[in-house]
Amino acid sequence: MAPPITHTDVSPSQKIAQGARDHLLNEIVPFWFPQAVDRPRGGFYTCYDNRGRFVSDEKYTWSQGRFVAICAQLAQAARQGVLELDAETMIADARRGARFLRDHAVRSDLTTIYHLDGDGIPIPSDGDSLYADCFAIIGFAGLAAATGEAEWYELADRMATAAWRTAAQAVVPTAPYQMPPGADVLGVHMILLNVELDLAKARKAVSLPEDSTRLMRAVRGLSSMARPDGGFNEVHAEGYGPDTLLGSHRTPGHALEGLWMLAETDLPETPPVGQLVAWANGLCALGWDDEFGGLFRYVDGARGGEPKGRRTGLGYEDLLSSTWDTKLWWVHSEACWTSTLLTEMSGDPQLAEWRDRLWNYTTRVFPAGEDGREWIQIRDRRGDPLDKTVALPLKDPYHVTRNLLQLIRLAHPAGHGIAQETTP
Q: Mean pLDDT, to the nearest integer, of 81-101?
A: 97
Q: What is the mean pLDDT of the chain?
A: 93
Q: Mean pLDDT, to the nearest integer, of 227-246?
A: 94
Quickly list DSSP for 326-341: -EEHHHHHHHHHHHHH
pLDDT number for residue 414? 57
Predicted TM-score of the model (pTM): 0.94
Q: Mean pLDDT, to the nearest integer, of 316-321?
A: 95
pLDDT number for residue 422? 40
Cα separation, 138 vs 156, in Å, equals: 7
Alpha carbon 367 to chain centroid distance? 18
Across 129-157, b (16+ Cβ under 10 Å) vs e yields: bbbbbbbbbbbbbbbbbbbebbebbebbb
Where does 233-326 show beta strands of DSSP type E? 235-236, 249-250, 299-300
Cα separation, 123 vs 120, in Å, equals: 9
Flag the least confident range among 1-15, 70-84, 90-104, 177-191: 1-15
Give pLDDT tens digits for 393-416.
889 899 999 999 999 999 987 544
Cα separation, 137 vs 112, in Å, equals: 10
Q: Mean pLDDT, to the nearest integer, of 106-119?
A: 97
In the predicted structure, residue 8 carries a pLDDT above the cut 80: no
pLDDT number for residue 4? 45
What pLDDT band is residue 420 in, cutting at 50, 70 and 90? very low
Cα separation, 361 vs 154, in Å, equals: 41
In single-letter form, the type of residue at position 77 comes to A
How many residues does the structure list for the chain? Answer: 424
pLDDT number for residue 378? 95
pLDDT number for residue 123? 96
In the predicted structure, residue 25 carries a pLDDT above the cut 70: yes
Give pLDDT tens digits for 138-148.
999 999 999 99
Where does 231-332 show beta strands of DSSP type E? 235-236, 249-250, 299-300, 327-328
Q: Mean pLDDT, to the nearest integer, of 68-97?
A: 97
Half-sphere exposure for 37 (CA within 13 Å, toward CB): 20
Who's near 245: CB < 8 A, 6+ residues apart?
Answer: 307, 308, 309, 310, 311, 312, 317, 320, 321
| 12-419: CATH class | mainly alpha
Give pLDDT tens digits for 146-197.
999 999 999 999 999 999 999 999 999 999 999 999 999 999 999 999 999 9
Alpha carbon 365 to chain centroid distance? 19
Q: Residue 59: which of 119, 17, 3 has the closest Cα?
A: 119
Asked whether 249 and 234 are in contact (CB, 8 A), the reply is yes
The backbone torsions φ and ψ at residue 329, rounded to the nearest 5 degrees and listed phi first, read -60, -45
What pLDDT band is residue 125 in, cutting at 50, 70 and 90? confident
Give pLDDT tens digits for 163-174.
999 999 999 999
pLDDT number for residue 6? 46
Give pLDDT tens digits for 375-384.
999 999 999 9
Expressed in angstroms, the distance from the first to the final Cα of the chain is 37
pLDDT number for residue 391? 67
pLDDT number for residue 156? 98
- Rg of the chain, C-alpha, whole Å: 20
